[in-house]
Structure 1
Amino acid sequence: MIKVIQLGLGPIGQRLARYLVERDGIQIVGGVDPDPKKVGKDVGILAGFEDLGIPISPTLEECSATDSADVAVISTVSSLQKMESQIKEVVDYGLDIVSTCEELSHPWQTQPRIAQSIDEHCKQKEVACIGTGVNPGFLMDYLPSVLTSVCREVSQVKVERVQDARPRRKPFRDKIGAGLTKSEFEAKRDKIRHVGLTESVYLIGDAMNWELNNVREKMMPILTETHIKTESGTVAKGDVAGVRQIARGYQGDEEVITLIFEAAVGIEDSHDSIQITGTPSFTSNIAGGINGDIATSAIIVNALQSITQAAPGLKTMLDIHAPAYFSNL
């Protein structure tokens, strides 16, 4: 039995709680969220199912389950800088960590000081920590790395994730700027983006043992050609439907990794495509794409067994036993 404390009970945290409860061999023993509207409420009731008898605590210090838990699942922020102290606090309680923090997925080149500090802290306390999800953590980095296993040689990796944002949760649509005017988008450009694309480039490079001398990323808005209805309102013609981001990894002047992320309301041809150029060259395509909210929550749950078996330290998906669905422990 893996006993879990859930930190962060927003939309993804609540979905995670449901997935954790339904899985044999996993038990939620605590919930933490500083939101005054959530503190004191039962984790199960907040997440939309039965009363679990587990009141939400405002801080980890006030959570009575720290002595009995094995793992903390953290779904709070995307910024590793904002999350560093939270990770270290959890580590001090001797808990392994699985987190949805995108910047934690492969921070060794993007934020080396923080990565090294977390790694050393985890090793000192003999716990393991990983950041994962559907993307980054699987579709645009780990999966293409695994697919190269059948290649004699590889010269280029190209991944394209194109998804209709209408079925996704509202915070995701907000994150990609859906519904903003062009001027509003430009004013908020530094806050609107898919987080983790550069980290995904470096994870693939790490897997291939490619030393990348340069990684470039750019983003542009996708504008609607018609009025599009979503569950949270209507996106007017000419306004922002979402974003298109491209990250490129180079060896010298040669582009060896290309990641294209496109998410917008109204996209008709959702898909996840991986193109490997090498011997052999091939393309793997997932028609319709994979729902990110479901997949992120699922891979967090499925990674719990792997992280509890991992050696101490800060890990990436390349470092742990490959997560897979398990019906029980």
Structure 2
Amino acid sequence: MSTSESKRIVVWGTGYVGKMVIAEVVKHPGFELVGVGVSNPAKVGKDVGEICGLDPVGLAASDDLDALVALRPDALVHYGPTAQYADENIRVMSAFLRAGVDVCSTAMTPWVWPGMKQNPANWIDPITEACESGNASCFTTGIDPGFANDLFPLTLMGLCGEVRSVRASELLDYTSYEGDYEDEMGIGRSPDFTPLLEIPDLLIMAWGATVPMIASAAGIELDDITTTWEKWVTPTERKTAKGVINPGEVAAIRFTINGIFQGRTVVQLEHVNRIGLDAAPDWPAGSQDDVYRVDIEGSPSISQETAFRFTDGSGRDAAAAGCLATGMRALNAVPAVNALPSGWVTALDLPLIPGVGTMR
């Protein structure tokens, strides 16, 4: 542990999220950036400031995993790739955990709830063993799955005497989104194309971890988890950041992941992702554009919408704001994760994290 009040951290990953977080870290009094790990050979040896569009920070990016572990930081804050690259994520995180360094990550979102039965053993066992070996802790978060459908609904449920159902929704326009939505979600594909996430088991594993988490937090065990999937085909051409979606192709999708208890849906995750705000006009939308929404039917019933925005004149969109919030959730959790016993950490283990040092 650091002897100063600030936490010494290594950041792994200088992609979209990592760059934004590093820009916050270098001016944050609560954290000292002592190392940055990258997997792209073209970035190795470059000043981290140059990589992130900042002034030089006097720290070179490295792909030397052993050297970064040897820095003995208080935590690795890991912004690696998705679970599609599970082996590489496990390799990096395990090395730090075995050395006694706690890990806070946004990469392996099925680990938001490690006990989810869809998590394969070869994803879980190496981290469990590394935590035990190094007496370290591993926390994974995201926005969805993540705090938009664990922290938000669970906090609001604590205001109720009875909760008959809780739904957490992502209601986003993907026009400016540059991630892989063609193969994963079928957006921009023919309606007869079956995207990966339309397969129920894959959808539950990739996006559904917070459904059994919420049930567990409420003291029940679900009888089943089901899914639904709908597609909306555009009659007109739609321009996106990735190109053009032609008439007759999918321009909006809506899916749900449903936690069933005693014959009824008690926990539901819902996604409505559109290309253009006018797409799928009959499907749910927020009172603002691009929001995360929680609806609780109970005593009392509660509705909450959360919008992420930049108001600094940078022109960055709502998706970028949500990505920064995701990264900062992992970073700001470091002191709390350091204070917990070793092993897996979930949102249910963390105290309130108000963001010490953010007001300055």
Distance 2:295 2:195 in 1: 35
Distance 1:173 1:144 in 2: 26
* Corresponding residue of 1:102: 109
Report whether the alignment pairs 1:78 with 2:82.
yes
Deviation at 1:167, TM superposition (A): 4.3
Q: Which of 274, 277, 299 is the matching residue for 2:297?
A: 277
After TM superposition, list the pairs within 5 Å mapping 1:30-179 onto structure 2.
30-63=35-68, 66-79=70-83, 81-82=86-87, 83-100=89-106, 101-110=108-117, 111=119, 113=121, 114-115=123-124, 118-168=127-177, 170-171=178-179, 173=181, 176-179=185-188
Deviation at 1:316, TM superposition (A): 0.4
Q: Which of 336, 348, 358 is the matching residue for 1:306?
A: 336
Deviation at 1:106, TM superposition (A): 0.7
For the residue of structure 2 that corresponds to 1:22, the secondary structure is coil
Identity of aligned residues (%): 24
Distance 1:120 1:321 in 2: 25
Report whether the alignment pairs 1:16 with 2:26.
no
Task: Give the 3 Å change call, closer, same or farther, for CA 262–38 of structure 1 in structure 2.
Answer: same
Deviation at 1:67, TM superposition (A): 2.5
Q: Which of 197, 206, 228 is the matching residue for 2:238?
A: 228
Root-mean-square deviation (Å): 2.8
Q: Which range moves more in the overlay, 275-284 or 205-214?
A: 275-284
Show CA shifts across 1:31-69 (max 9, x none). Answer: 112212222222221111121222222241243x63241
* Corresponding residue of 1:28: 33
Task: Give the 3 Å change call, closer, same or farther, for CA 118–288 of structure 1 in structure 2.
Answer: closer
User: How many residues matched?
Assistant: 326
Deviation at 1:9, TM superposition (A): 1.9
Task: Give the 3 Å change call, closer, same or farther, for CA 32–161 of structure 1 in structure 2.
Answer: same
**One-letter code aligned to 1:157:** V
Q: Which range moves more in the overlay, 43-52 or 215-224?
A: 215-224
Q: Which of 241, 256, 269 is the matching residue for 2:251?
A: 241
Structure 1 unpaired stretches of 5+: none
- TM-score for both structures, normalised by structure 2: 0.80
Task: Give the 3 Å change call, closer, same or farther, for CA 181–99 of structure 1 in structure 2.
Answer: same
Deviation at 1:240, TM superposition (A): 2.9
For the residue of structure 1 that corresponds to 2:142, the secondary structure is coil
Q: Which range moves more in the overlay, 263-272 or 89-98?
A: 263-272
Distance 2:48 2:185 in 1: 29
**One-letter code aligned to 1:293:** C
Task: Give the 3 Å change call, closer, same or farther, for CA 161–96 of structure 1 in structure 2.
Answer: same
Task: Give the 3 Å change call, closer, same or farther, for CA 94–54 of structure 1 in structure 2.
Answer: same
Distance 2:19 2:231 in 1: 30
- TM-score for both structures, normalised by structure 1: 0.87
Task: Give the 3 Å change call, closer, same or farther, for CA 11–178 of structure 1 in structure 2.
Answer: farther
Deviation at 1:227, TM superposition (A): 2.4
Distance 2:186 2:23 in 1: 28
Structure 2 unpaired stretches of 5+: 1-5, 279-284, 310-317
* Corresponding residue of 1:212: 222
Distance 2:196 2:128 in 1: 33
8 Å contact kept, 1:176–1:263: no
Task: Give the 3 Å change call, closer, same or farther, for CA 188–273 of structure 1 in structure 2.
Answer: closer
8 Å contact kept, 1:144–1:274: yes
Distance 1:94 1:313 in 2: 11
* Corresponding residue of 2:314: none
Distance 1:315 1:247 in 2: 23
Distance 1:62 1:243 in 2: 44
Deviation at 1:247, TM superposition (A): 0.2
